Amino acid sequence: MEDRLIAGGVAGLAGSLVMVGLDYLVNLIPGVSTNLLLAASAILSTDVELGTVTGNVTGFIIHLICGSILGVIFIFLLEITKYRFVLLKGFLFGIGAWFIVCGMIARLLNLPIQDKFIDNLFMLLIHIPFGLTTAFVIKNYVKYSVRETE
């Protein structure tokens, strides 16, 4: 991939898909309810649609769009900070995404948030693979003509 915007979007999309898969697995644990798709669908859906198939599909699409936007932000952060230690930066980006999205933006938009410690912990644990996957895709599939060689 030679275009930074497309590369960041695709990388964020891949990270979002991994995150949704992990969210599904985490919700199989008794007592854990991360509500990832519910919170995403609450951005555009009515209260009646939340928790339904329509709401979940809407949440899935919104989550992929938000992940793509974060992927673009991440690749431009890499442009500023250079392409060294990409996976470490992806790890930190996942933690930062959890803090900003779940801690700040969700509260500002009055989205359903996790009120139990265990749910917040699992949300953090599924944001880290998001950042790592996004960084992995950028590291391995963005051509050297786009990024600076050292």
- What one-character-per-residue DSSP string does 43-108 give? TTS-TTTTTSHHHHHHHHHHHHHHHHHHHHHHHHHHHHH-SSSHHHHHHHHHHHHIIIIIIIIHHH
The rounded distance, in Å, linking the Cα atoms of 91 and 93 is 5
Residue 119 lies in a domain: yes
Block residue for tokens 């991939």:
1
The tally of CA atoms less than 13 A away on the side-chain side of residue 95 is: 5
Q: What is the pLDDT of residue 144?
A: 54
Residue 37 lies in a domain: yes
Q: What is the pLDDT of residue 116?
A: 84
Phi-psi region of 130 (alpha: psi -120 to 50; beta: other; left: phi over 0): alpha
Q: For the chain, which residues score pLDDT lower than 50?
A: 145, 149-150
The rounded distance, in Å, linking the Cα atoms of 90 and 52 is 33
Q: What is the pLDDT of residue 145?
A: 47
Residue 147 lies in a domain: no
The rounded distance, in Å, linking the Cα atoms of 40 and 54 is 12
- Give pLDDT tens digits for 107-131: 887 777 777 888 889 999 999 999 9
Q: What is the pLDDT of residue 150?
A: 45
Contact 96, 55 (CB under 8 A): no
Q: How many domains does the chain have?
A: 1
Contact 91, 128 (CB under 8 A): yes
Domain that holds residue 128: 4-141
The rounded distance, in Å, linking the Cα atoms of 147 and 82 is 8
Residue 73 lies in a domain: yes
Contact 93, 19 (CB under 8 A): no
The rounded distance, in Å, linking the Cα atoms of 66 and 50 is 18
